[in-house]
A and B are shown apart, each in its own frame.
Chain A
Amino acid sequence: DGGITQSPKYLFRKEGQNVTLSCEQNLNHDAMYWYRQDPGQGLRLIYYSQIVNDFQKGDIAEGYSVSREKKESFPLTVTSAQKNPTAFYLCASSTGGLRNTEAFFGQGTRLTVV
């Protein structure tokens, strides 16, 4: 049963701490993405990776870091430098670039800074 799995579903973090969100896919997709959703706004691209060991910054990469050591995995670290980290985070994957193809999304992780 192919798909994208994000964990955990809910995450609480104290201010000043780094936290890592997991994203795993078994769709054999080359490309993976991280988006952030805030109330009243569309999805904004944080980072994307088109191939293992390579990734690019999206529109709002500041305060975030990623790695792509395996095709199946694309973890996102929210660092203490991210000034407003409370949001709903979505991971996605696609067969190639997002031009002329759809993305498949995970169920999301809601991060709350306390």
Chain B
Amino acid sequence: DQQVKQNSPSLSVQEGRISILNCDYTNSMFDYFLWYKKYPAEGPTFLISISSIKDKNEDGRFTVFLNKSAKHLSLHIVPSQPGDSAVYFCAASGLGSNNDMRFGAGTRLTVKP
């Protein structure tokens, strides 16, 4: 039962344009959401997070938007750079157990120069 879904396995954008990565979740009990970035043969690194009490969190070129009614969050990268090319995982936590963090399958972003 995949409770966190990233329906786009890949995304390609031109350098300087906006990248929008999407994530949907099914359980309304999730209350904390994170995005991780992963390069090949490396572990994921934390990128940005958002609590369910907010609908937007911004950190430099990265902004995460949360729509609780739609159970949807998105990561915006503006402007996109070639170094942003990586796999991006969406994650959600808050289901009772302290350690119940669920990950999506990831979206591979390619930023073309």
Binding site for B on A (CB under 8 A): 4, 6, 9, 31, 33, 35, 40-45, 48, 50, 56, 58, 90-92, 96-100, 102-108, 110
Contacts and interface: CB of A to CB of B under 8 A. Distances in A.
Contact of B94 (A4, A48, A92, A99): A99
Contact of B44 (A41, A50, A105): A105
Interface centre among A33, A90, A99, A106, by most chain B C-beta atoms within 10 angstroms, is A99
Sorted from nearest, which 10 A-B pairs have the closest CB atoms? A97-B98, A105-B43, A42-B103, A102-B46, A43-B103, A98-B101, A48-B99, A42-B105, A98-B99, A42-B104
Contact of B41 (A35, A43, A96, A108): A108
Interface centre among A41, A106, A110, by most chain B C-beta atoms within 10 angstroms, is A41
Contact of B43 (A31, A41, A102, A108): A108
Given A6-B43, A105-B45, A108-B41, 11 more contacts: A4-B43, A42-B4, A42-B102, A42-B103, A43-B44, A97-B99, A98-B100, A100-B32, A100-B51, A102-B46, A108-B43
B16 interface: no
Interface of B: 2, 4, 6, 9, 32, 34, 36, 41-46, 49, 51, 89, 91, 93-94, 97-106
Contacts of A40: 9, 105
Contacts of A99: 32, 93-94, 98-99
